[in-house]
Structure 1
């Protein structure tokens, strides 16, 4: 098995999206979407990983996810 590609299906076709999610407490109560993430996903099988947007760089995450 190759060291590169999706850990579920081996595909090297990836995509990325930015998403925002509601936190807990008052943020949830007022629907404040203050948690931002970068989602890297396999376009073949849909396997996804979430990365904290504030702590990551998009290009480096794709390299990490798909080698």
Structure 2
């Protein structure tokens, strides 16, 4: 049993993959007890400067077919009530499509980023309409 460096669970590897988080765990990922940084810290440092779409594209693995290439696109939608009447699109979603099988996963970028995004596009939508 080892501790997965990605999800922190005590696991037994299955084909060099954590059965909990489905992330590849290599021997170099387990280093760090002798003062070296581990791969999780390195990955967090590497992704800190990237936008969320780039991070998703770099770490994508299709949950349907296992393919690792995708395309992303952001979509804005209006809600109900006054936003529908005035056609104000303030709901933003990130669509991630597998390039092999076409399976689509939908993410809320506000949750992934940790803050509300799309304020500029909402203001532009109010000022200029469609």
TM range (shorter): 0.5 to 0.7
Q: Gapped runs of 5+ residues in structure 1?
A: 58-67
Alignment size in residue pairs: 56
CA distance in 2, matches of 1:15, 1:24: 29
Greater share of helix: 2
Q: Tell me the CA shift for residue 28 of structure 1.
A: 1.1
Partner SS, residue 56 of structure 1: helix
Compute the TM-score of the two structures, normalised by the length of structure 2: 0.38
Partner SS, residue 28 of structure 1: helix
Deviations 1:18-41 (CA, angstroms, capped at 9, x unpaired): 111111111111111110111111
**1:27 equivalenced with 2:83 (yes/no):** yes
**1:13 equivalenced with 2:69 (yes/no):** yes
Work out which structure has the larger RCO, using CA pairs closer than 8 Å and 6 or more positions apart in sequence: 1
Moved over 4 A (4+): none
Over the aligned positions, Cα root-mean-square deviation in angstroms equals 1.9
